[in-house]
Amino acid sequence: MNEIPSYIYWLTRTTFVFLALCFVAVAFLPQSRPIAFGMIIGSAVSYINTKYLAKKVSMMTEAAATGRRGPKGLGFAQRAAISIGAVVLAIEFPHLFEIHALAGSLVFAPFALIVIGYFLSRHERDNSDNERGEKNA
């Protein structure tokens, strides 16, 4: 079974809720705007990189299942370049983006996926008792 779509679904929801909270912080806490903007950029880059990696993994598993060669591309280099671009943006405009908040939130999606995976596996385990539709007597 392919769990990647459900993981991406919940990661998207989690990321958008986090981004919404950061935008609320921008609106109501003007002294924390650089921190919130750094977290917005960092978590958005983290989400983009994770979604791109999930697409590459899906393409590779499909290619392996059909016996074709896997996709060619820059994979890690592209994801690293996006992250480095965000860090350069924070270095160029330190009055707008807090570099520490950006760097810390670049790992938002992997940590969110650990939590999402834990809850999805617990949910699957709790619902697998009646796998074939049998009733417990």
Number of domains the chain is built from: 1
What percentage of the chain carries pLDDT values higher than 90? 61
Indicate whether 131 belongs to any domain.
no
Q: Which domain holds residue 110?
A: 4-122
Q: In this structure, are residues 89 and 41 in contact, taking their beta carbons and an 8 Å threshold?
A: yes
Indicate whether 95 belongs to any domain.
yes
Indicate whether 8 belongs to any domain.
yes
Picking from 121, 120, 123, 104, the residue whose alpha carbon sits closest to that of residue 18 is 104
Q: In this structure, are residues 36 and 26 in contact, taking their beta carbons and an 8 Å threshold?
A: yes
For the stretch 52-94, pLDDT in tens is: 998 888 888 888 888 887 777 767 888 899 999 999 999 999 9
pLDDT of residue 103: 94
Indicate whether 53 belongs to any domain.
yes
Indicate whether 33 belongs to any domain.
yes
For the stretch 97-125, pLDDT in tens is: 999 999 999 999 999 999 999 998 888 77
Indicate whether 132 belongs to any domain.
no
pTM: 0.83
For the stretch 20-55, pLDDT in tens is: 999 999 999 999 999 999 999 999 999 999 999 988
